[in-house]
Amino acid sequence: MARRYYGIFRYNHPGANWCSPTGGDTVHLTVVTPTPYGAGSSQSSASISCFRSNPDNDVTLNFSRPFQIGLPGSTIQTSTTLPTGSSQSVNGRIVTQNLTTSNDATGLFYCEGSNSDLTTRVYSIIHSVNRRFEPVDGLVTKTINKGENVTLSVIKANSGGFPLWRRTRNGTVNANLTNSNQASFTVPSTDADDGDLYTVIGSAVTLTDNHFSMIRLIVRDCDAGKWNLTDCEGVCDLCYNGGVCDDETGDCICPPGFSGPNCLTGKLIAWSVCLSGGLSV
């Protein structure tokens, strides 16, 4: 059984991504990146670290891209694999995927863990150092409920003209979006699909440096406060500290540093704690 989870969420650090839920019907993983804006940096390799949590401390992990970005002119337009030269290191429960110093380390990646008949995939986004725009609030994922509109916004990070919004849906790009040349872009509920990747390019520059910005959209299958894959009649428990109610199980999906049925156990974690292996969820 495969499960999709709420891939990316900035919590105390732009590279700290959603942790796994507390229920027993998933593989427990947390993904973080120390280089959320570091693809193409000459200083160090971009990387993603995947933390395995109890009871899945020894689960086998796989890293890759979920689909091609599809943006014409980008050096990763059709890529569905990791950048050439990528390497992996293991430190106990932490598996780190080094993605090289190349601009090809830009994009949407995932860490996938499989255990018995369960598979869980958690996502992470890495932007290029050449990005022209970036999410205004630092959030590279937006989670909404069924029937809701959502407004995505970016701010300028480097010069390159005005923003042009694009949508990649399962590897296919749509460049004909309404009112797509503004800093803020509203996605109506009728066009909001789970897993869509919205990108923003600069109007005055080519994409050879992979300068596009990214925001991934997560759409719950139920109305706010409800869960149950069949009829959405279940009432969610309260999820604290930024936790989100899973629309399939009703479990709270807790952010990094928190655990328990309602995400009340734990505390905010600093990036140094993550790197030292001190994350406990």
Residues 153-173: pLDDT tens digits?
Answer: 999 999 989 999 999 999 999
Alpha carbon 128 to its chain centroid, in Å, reads 15
d(CA 263, CA 244): 9
Tell me the domain boundaries of the chain: 2-126
Residue in the block written with tokens 């996938």: 112
pLDDT of residue 141: 92
Question: What is the C-alpha to C-alpha distance for residues 49 and 34, in angstroms, rounded to an integer?
Answer: 8
Ranges assigned E (strand) in 75-195? 87-91, 94-98, 107-115, 118-126, 133-135, 141-144, 150-156, 163-169, 172-174, 184-187
pLDDT of res. 25: 66
Q: What number of CA atoms fall less than 13 Å from residue 266's CA on the CB side? A: 24
Band (pLDDT 50/70/90 cuts) for residue 268 is low
Residue type, 28: H
Domain 2-126 matching CATH 3.40.50.1220: the answer reads: no
Q: What pLDDT band is residue 24 in, cutting at 50, 70 and 90?
A: low
What's the CA gap between 274 and 281, in Å, rounded?
A: 11
Distance CA 128, CA 106 (A): 5
